Amino acid sequence: MASLSRRHMLQSTSCGFGYLAFSAMAAQQSIAATPNATAKAPPLPAKAKRVIFLCMSGGPAHLDTFDYKPQTGKKPHPGSVFKFKKHGDSGLPVSELMPHTAQHVDKLCMLNGMYCDTGNHAQSFLQLHTGERLRKRPSMGAWINYGLGTENQNLPGFISLNTSKPSVYSSAFLPPVYEGTPIGVNGEDMGKATIPSIAGNHLPSPVKRRQLDFIQAMNRRHLEQRDQTDDLEAVIQSMELGYRMQTSAPALLDISDEPAHVLEAYRVGKQKPRKTCKASDFGRQCLLARRFAEAGVRFIELNHGSWDQHKYHREELKANCESVDAPIAALLADLDQRGLLDETLVVWGGEFGRPGLLPDGKKNESGHNPRGFTFWLAGAGVKPGLAYGKTDPTGGRAIEGRVHFRDLHATILHLMGLPHDTLSVQHAGRKHRLTGPQGGKVVKGILT
């Protein structure tokens, strides 16, 4: 069928603009009927409604944060170079670098036996987010968005704050509507970061709606004439979401309505760059995460880079911990006080760990360690105040309670009510899933 110009279409339809109005209403009904429009019931009993992923890019030094390795035996060996203290009723040890987070240790479930497949940043970071080291695959947030839909039709189901690479929020071969919405770029002033093109007062809202209806009617007619429609469908749905976001997103991004004591607790705007520690305003990110969680966003990722302590381990690690410690504590306390922590899964960690240093040695640089490191979880469905798994006496290798990224992904999906083995999509001749062809194991020992 030949493509119709706008003029010919209007001339050839008996009802002219009336047809467009009808087509626009039909388009809205069609969009409302698409799977992403409303929340889907999870196939399994769900403990969590949403995920907040605190991504520490670069490889946090587990031995100097949450995995204490004191000197034992007669011969000195690599271990923790900062002091640790036991906290809370659980008595879990936490580094002196994280005093505020330590106050919430009874909320944390430590995974001290994490491991992955490579010590290369790019590949391991990709595996952490997508389950795949080399090829483009949907990110964890996109899979969860695909499996459960959004709780709030006026907001994206997946938001990535202070993002670094598109792979962090990519939907790959899943429908583009499940892709994450990035806000801010790593190193950008998060106080100025926003979602592009959602604000505009040049037209009244009813006029904007009529304008969009007119455009969408033509888009739908265009869509009907073509076989390959995924990209066009994504444009149509994105335009609808963009219109709806105008009523919700600007107010959520504007934190000026927060009390002064809340801004102070989160340390909004207080972070200063030091050496490789970038000023990502992690406090603002944490506060925005709470606001987005409260508004029904399904998956929220926060990013703090520069944990790659190759030259100045002690100084840079101290700066990184100081940047994230108080904001994380404020987020955990805020979620708990508002009754959100019981239905929100908070995840902390990076793409791998780091080897230990000799506490009294002169060496002040550390490399990469994918063989053993720490993540922690808090909130919905996980046992609080628990240390699960452990590394050997030098922290070099996970030896008990070993948890691979695939197992972490399987566990997160399970807590969201999604079966990791059957949440899949057909692409390029075979089924794909977040946990890959090898699959993962749900870590049942940490579940409530």
Give the integer Cα–Cα distance in Å for 411 and 301: 17
Q: Tell which of 187, 221, 245 closes a domain.
A: 245
- 348-360 b/e with 16+ CB inside 10 Å = b? bbbbbbbbbbebe
Give the integer Cα–Cα distance in Å for 338 and 331: 11
Asked if residue 16 is part of any domain, the answer here is: no
Give the integer Cα–Cα distance in Å for 364 and 311: 6
Asked if residue 1 is part of any domain, the answer here is: no
Show pLDDT as tens, one digit a residue, over the chain (448 residues).
444 444 444 444 434 434 333 333 443 443 333 444 467 899 999 999 999 999 999 999 999 999 999 998 888 999 999 999 999 999 999 999 999 999 999 999 999 999 999 999 999 999 999 999 999 999 999 999 999 988 888 888 999 999 878 888 999 999 888 999 999 987 677 888 887 766 666 777 777 777 777 777 888 887 787 776 667 776 767 666 666 667 778 889 999 999 999 999 999 998 877 878 878 899 999 999 999 999 999 999 999 988 999 999 999 999 999 999 999 999 999 999 999 999 999 999 999 999 999 999 999 999 999 999 999 999 999 999 999 999 999 999 999 999 999 999 999 999 999 999 999 999 989 999 999 999 999 999 999 9
- Whole-prediction pTM: 0.87
Asked if residue 24 is part of any domain, the answer here is: no
Domains held by the chain: number:
2
User: Any idea what DSSP says for residue 304?
Assistant: E
Give the integer Cα–Cα distance in Å for 321 and 66: 12
266 and 124 share one domain = yes
Asked if residue 23 is part of any domain, the answer here is: no
370 and 385 share one domain = yes
Q: Cα torsion for 181, 183, 185, 186, to the nearest 10°?
A: -100
Give the domain extent around 104. 48-198+256-446
208 and 319 share one domain = no
- Assign residue 188 the CATH number of its domain: 3.40.720.10
Q: Cα torsion for 375, 436, 163, 36, to the nearest 10°?
A: -110
In DSSP terms, which residues pair with 345 in a beta bridge? 51, 379
75 and 176 share one domain = yes
Residues in CB range of 140: below 8 A, 6 or more apart: 53, 129, 130, 131, 299, 409, 412, 434
Asked if residue 35 is part of any domain, the answer here is: no
Place of tokens 């640089």: 365
Give the integer Cα–Cα distance in Å for 344 and 378: 8
Give the integer Cα–Cα distance in Å for 351 and 56: 8
Asked if residue 419 is part of any domain, the answer here is: yes
Give the integer Cα–Cα distance in Å for 285 and 268: 8
Residues in CB range of 418: below 8 A, 6 or more apart: 42, 43, 44, 143, 144, 147, 148
396 and 320 share one domain = yes
Q: Tell which of 225, 245, 265 closes a domain.
A: 245
432 and 324 share one domain = yes
316 and 423 share one domain = yes
Asked if residue 22 is part of any domain, the answer here is: no
Place of tokens 């987005």: 292
User: CA-CA distances (angstroms) from residue 15 to 7, 117, 158, 416?
Assistant: 14, 63, 40, 48
191 and 262 share one domain = yes
Assign 379 to helix, strand or coil.
strand
Q: Tell which of 245, 267, 282 closes a domain.
A: 245
143 and 265 share one domain = yes
308 and 401 share one domain = yes
Backbone angles phi, psi at 175, to 5 degrees: -50, 135
209 and 280 share one domain = no
190 and 207 share one domain = no
User: CA-CA distances (angstroms) from residue 229 to 33, 123, 223, 424?
Assistant: 17, 32, 6, 21
